[in-house]
Amino acid sequence: MGSSLFSNLLKSIEQGRFPRAQKWVWRRLYNLLSRFWRDEDWRFMNYGFVPEGVPFPLKPEDEPERVFIGLYQQAVENLPVAGLRVLEVGSGRGGGSRYIARYHAPASVVGLDYSQATVARAKSLNAGTPSLSFEVGDAERMPFPDGAFDVVVNIESSHCYADVPAFAREVARVLAPGGWFTFADMRARASLAELDDQLGAPGLEKMGERDLSAGVVAALDAAEARKRERIGRLRLMRRFMSEFSGSRGSILYKGLATGQVAYVARRYRKVG
């Protein structure tokens, strides 16, 4: 039942049906996960990314999260983050915001998430990280003034939104002139042109794009044993969590491995 439920959810997202209902379902799901999956070393909710070439440096205590941090490293690599104001939209349990705050010397990092329970969990897991804070808010109606940030990060979150163009317009609004928007998420390969149309808000100029799919599949493989061990502790929803986490044999894993689903990165700059 878990896999059929997840399959139907993915199909409805791909076809654009019931966007407001989908957004409500995702919020309830993440609230539920944050309340009942309380592992103190689980700061990330993404599928991960293994880049080619020389591994980027990490402190020993962060090595267990390397594959998940990989999506954030590629997001900010070669961007002028030091001394700037950073916003992560869809910050989840806060591991990505924490990584940027600890490794890239920004002036500040704010994590914004729609799930109140998830924000509470992020605050608990990442307490004591300098210049890092978390707020509850809607990606489509951000609670910030115009030009409040220099860098906006959005990782594996936009598929939960009811109105991606509204999100992109909000990104353009809260970015200062010359600011950067760095994005990564998955879509059916046939809908990538639509995604680019949705993200192309007035004032945002596309500066680069990448297909991360191979590195994401490598990360899913690298994290498989750890995920299976944790999912095995569950009494309920094991099949659903296997699908949700992208375990081997899941719908999303197969889609990424066969090329039907693409995991892509985009970079934009605020004109001005």
pLDDT per residue over 126-147, tens digit each?
A: 999 999 999 999 999 999 999 9
- Of 65, 88, 140, 156, the active-site residue reads 156
Please say whether the beta carbons of 220 and 246 come within 8 A. Answer: yes
Total domains present in the chain? 1
Structural domain including 200 reads: 2-270
What is residue 40's predicted lDDT score, i.e. its pLDDT?
Answer: 60
Q: Are 216 and 185 in contact (CB under 8 A)?
A: no
Whole-angstrom distance, CA of residue 120 vs CA of residue 114 = 11
- The first and second tokens of residue 171, run together, are 């990104």
What are 167's two structure tokens? 């999100």
Please confirm, yes or no, whether 156 is among the known catalytic residues: yes
CATH code for the domain of 263: 3.40.50.150
What are the tens digits of pLDDT across the range 5-47? Answer: 445 545 544 555 546 556 655 555 555 565 555 556 678 889 9
For residue 174, the one-letter residue type is V
Buried b (16+ CB within 10 A) or exposed e, 124-140: ebbeeeeebbbbebbbb
Distance in angstroms (rounded) separating the CA atoms of residues 92 and 126: 12
- Alpha carbon distance 188, 29 (integer Å): 22
**What residues contact residue 101 under an 8 Å CB cut-off, 6+ apart?**
86, 109, 129, 130, 131, 132
pLDDT, residue 244, reads: 67
Give the mean pLDDT per block of 10 residues along the chain (272 residues): 47 53 57 57 86 94 95 97 98 96 98 92 93 97 98 95 96 98 96 96 98 96 80 67 75 92 97 87
CB 181 within 8 A of CB 270: yes
Burial class (CB in 10 A: 0-12, 13-18, 19+), 258: exposed
Contact 50, 218 (CB under 8 A): yes
Nearest alpha-carbon partner for 84 in 167, 147, 127: 147
Q: What is the pLDDT of residue 246?
A: 72
Q: Record the pTM.
A: 0.87
Interatomic CA distance for residues 220 and 23, integer angstroms:
25
Burial label for 188, CB within 10 Å (0-12, 13-18, 19+), is: middle
pLDDT of the residue at 133 = 98
Can you tell me the distance from the alpha carbon of 23 to that of 25, in angstroms, rounded to the nearest whole number? 5
The two most distant CA atoms of the chain are separated, in Å, by: 54
